[in-house]
Amino acid sequence: MKRNIKITGIGSYLPKRIVDGAEIDKIIGAKNGWSEKKSGVKQRYFVTDETASYMGAEAAKKAIADAGIELNELDCIVSGSGTMEQAIPCNASLIQEQLGLQHSGIPAFDINSTCLSFLTALDMISYAMESGRFNHVLIVSSEIASVGLNWSQNESSILFGDGAVAYVFSKTTETDSSHIIASRMETYSAGAHLSEIRGGGTKIHPRNYADDTKEDFLFDMDGTAIFKLSYKLLPTFIEKLFKNTNLTMDDIKMIVPHQASASAMKIIRKKLSVNEERFMTIIENYGNMIAASIPMALYEAIKQGRVKRGDKVFLLGTSAGLSIGGILFEY
């Protein structure tokens, strides 16, 4: 269903510390250049003293300024992140606090579908906005991957980076053509354990942290299996998403994929028969930023002038779960 909302503001926050390939090679004991060649990631950002709520709030302040609204004009704050800052309360509440909105009453909650959290948050909130519940909604994806990386699993540890992106979405006015055209999500828990952190929740409480259990508290990924499953499911998923839209892939100005890995994105791009110009890739400079990847790539596409008002954009990603998600919209 068409939802008449538009992006009115965007902001990002990147940690102070830049970590290049050489530093990663040193950590994992590889020869210089190996990690960059293997992952396609030249640099990523790792937090030092930054928290997820701090980064989220810094990104949010920029997005709110960009939207030209006051902080207290926000009607809702949603955290769309795959990681939590602390077990309780939810991230959105901590971001509200960092924004100085402690007494505002602006509703704040989290939507989590791991790497697709930003998409799911946007997808669900757009219905509430279309129905008139909210006028301006802040969606923040703020992720700290670095703290949970398993440095003995090179496949994943060389890929990830930290950072935050925030968007203000607003109901459109009569003169706007911006809108969400279609959206879709599918979850196949046959892949639920292909990328996971088993510990940290109620199943394996932190009190069980020990030398022989410590990997349960770190990210564990079977990238090849994820890719195989996603690759098989993707064509039908896209077909169903485009159905009833009167659009084909040719109508899309920019495909903004989850920055899962450089090699996976390359294969997907070829599968979709799309040239590099229409397929946004930022993994080289940021790594995989979990749920912040798609909104950061979209932000870069807009900043670089590669997506302009009126252009049709296709956000597409996979996540732990295993889920596939997509949103077609006119910017």
225 part of the interface to a copy of itself, by CB under 8 A: no
- Residue in the block written with tokens 């979209």: 298
How many residues bind to a copy of itself according to rule CB under 8 A?
77
DSSP 312-330: EEEEEEEETTTEEEEEEEE
Cβ atoms of 52 and 92 within 8 Å: the answer is: no
Non-local (6+) Cβ contacts of 113 within 8 A are 82, 119, 120, 185, 187, 319, 321, 323, 325
- Report the alpha-carbon angle 278-281-283, nearest 5: 175
- Residue of the chain from 8, 35, 39, 93 that contacts a copy of itself (CB under 8 A): 93
206 part of the interface to a copy of itself, by CB under 8 A: yes
197 part of the interface to a copy of itself, by CB under 8 A: yes
**Of residues 121 and 302, the one with the C-beta less far from a copy of itself:** 121
- Residue of the chain from 23, 73, 176, 186 that contacts a copy of itself (CB under 8 A): 186
27, amino acid identity: I
Please report how close the Cβ of residue 327 comes to a copy of itself at its closest, in angstroms.
13
Helix (H, G, I), strand (E, B) or coil at 19: strand
- Residue in the block written with tokens 């779960």: 321
Q: Could you say which residues in the range 233-262 bind a copy of itself, by CB under 8 A?
A: 233
Query: Which residues are marked as active site?
Result: 115, 258, 288
319 part of the interface to a copy of itself, by CB under 8 A: yes
49 part of the interface to a copy of itself, by CB under 8 A: no
28 part of the interface to a copy of itself, by CB under 8 A: no
312 part of the interface to a copy of itself, by CB under 8 A: no
For residue 141, the cross-strand partners are 165
Q: What are phi and psi of 112, to 5 degrees?
A: -130, 115
- Residue of the chain from 101, 166, 301, 327 that contacts a copy of itself (CB under 8 A): 101
